[in-house]
Amino acid sequence: MAIANTARWMAFLLGLVITGVFSGNAMAASSIALSKGQNVYVPIYSHIYHGDHERPFELTATLSIRNTDPKHAITLLSADYFDSNGNFLKNYVEKPIQLKNLSSIRYIIKSTDTSGGSGAKFIVKWESAVSVNPPLIEAIMISTRSQQGISFISRGQVIND
């Protein structure tokens, strides 16, 4: 009886695949949204809280900007760092920087720099002369203390083109 039910489920799932119900991933890969520029919000955590007394656990953060376009350069216009209250702290890009195709750049927030707070963020602005694959913009947070280690990432979110 169990074998017959398994065979029915397999036939049902095969039917869904054939009719295209699960074809969303294949279609998404073939329809990449190109852009000539964006403003990207990237969450940064200079620390997170732990324990019942909400003790801060300081983190080193890396802002990583990767040009994913295989043929074209992009221009990084700014990487503005803001604190938890939305106050501007620092621009990490003093003048526009060209990122060649498939190249990357990074900016580090040291674990001793707690000015951003737990709700810090970057607003990254970039542009291109032609439509390109948008860059991958992430923050990587990491820290170790005693025998404890923590690391995680947060991805950028486009806030306008």
- Residue 20 is predicted with a pLDDT of 52
- Residue 7 is predicted with a pLDDT of 55
Residue 47 has pLDDT above 50, yes or no: yes
* SS3 (DSSP) at 116: coil
Task: Report how far apart, in Å, the C-alpha atoms of 63 and of each of 50, 139, 158 are.
Answer: 23, 5, 15
Question: Which range in 6-15, 26-35, 108-117 is most confidently predicted, on average pLDDT?
Answer: 108-117
Please state the pTM of the whole predicted model.
0.78
Confidence of residue 21 (pLDDT cuts 50, 70, 90): very low
Residue 106 has pLDDT above 80, yes or no: yes
Could you tell me the end-to-end alpha-carbon distance of the chain, in angstroms, rounded to an integer? Answer: 57
Residue 132 has pLDDT above 80, yes or no: yes
Question: Which range in 3-17, 25-39, 44-58 is most confidently predicted, on average pLDDT?
Answer: 44-58
Name the amino acid, one letter, at 44: I
- Residue 55 is predicted with a pLDDT of 87
Residue 42 and residue 122 in contact, taking contact as beta carbons nearer than 8 Å: yes
- Residue-level length of the chain: 161
φ, ψ dihedrals at 24, nearest 5°: -55, -40
Q: 88-99, pLDDT tens digit by residue?
A: 999 999 999 999
Residue 146 has pLDDT above 70, yes or no: yes
- Residue 11 is predicted with a pLDDT of 55
Taken in order of first residue, the domains within the chain and their CATH numbers are 1-31 (no CATH), 34-160 (2.60.290)
